[in-house]
Amino acid sequence: MNRQLLLLFTFYVLVSSIQAIDFTYCDDEENSQQIKIIPDPVVTGKPAIFNISAVTDRSVSGGKVMIEVRYFGIHVHSETHDICEEVSCPIEAGNFVLSHAETLPGYAPPGVYTLKTKMIGKNGYQLTCFSFKFKIGFGALVSES
C-alpha cells in the first residue's frame, strides 16, 4: 500500500512539474507553438530539457539554433548549435519538436532568466525567433548529500 502511494505521489510530482511556458515572438511570425522545461524550476548542476514545439512552412535540411541567455537584462551566455543536432534532419514542412538539453553550472545564481532562441535555415531563412523566461530555484544552490 505504501509503495503504491509513493508511486502515485511520484507520478503526480512529475506530471505537475511539466507545464507549458509563456513566450513571446521576436517579430510578427508565430512559428513556435509551445515550450516545456523539465524540471521547472531548473536545478543547477542537473540536466534541464527544453522542448520546443514549432512549425515551418518549408522543408529544412540544415541550419543553426542560436541561443542567448540574459539575467536581469544582462547578457550572461550565448551558444550556437547545428539545427540537425537538436532535431532530426531533414525537417519536413509542418510541425516539429526541437529538444535541447543543458546543464547549468552550479554557480548560476537563483532567479529569473530570459532565453532568446533563433532558428535559421541553412539558406538564411528565419524559421522562428522567440524568447521566454525560466527560473532557477533558490533551493537549487543546496547540494544533495
CA–CA gap between residue 104 and residue 39 (Å, rounded): 12
In contact, 16 and 113? CB cutoff 8 Å: no
CA–CA gap between residue 90 and residue 78 (Å, rounded): 25
* Number of alpha carbons in the 13 Å side-chain half-sphere of residue 69: 15
Listing from the earlier edge strand, what are the strands of the sheet with 32-38? 32-38, 47-56, 94-103
What is the model's pLDDT at position 70? 95
> Can you tell me whether residue 10 is helix, strand or coil?
helix
What is the model's pLDDT at position 23? 62
What is the model's pLDDT at position 111? 93
> Amino acid identity, residue 110?
P
The tens place of each residue's pLDDT in the chain, 145 residues long, gives: 433 333 333 333 333 334 456 666 676 555 557 889 999 899 888 899 999 888 888 888 999 999 999 999 999 999 999 999 988 999 898 888 889 999 888 888 999 999 999 989 888 888 888 888 999 986 544 444 3
CA–CA gap between residue 50 and residue 116 (Å, rounded): 12
Does the global pTM surpass 0.85? no
What is the model's pLDDT at position 129? 85
* Beta pairing, strands 23-25 & 111-121: unpaired
Largest CA distance in the chain: 59
For 123, the grid coordinates are 539558406
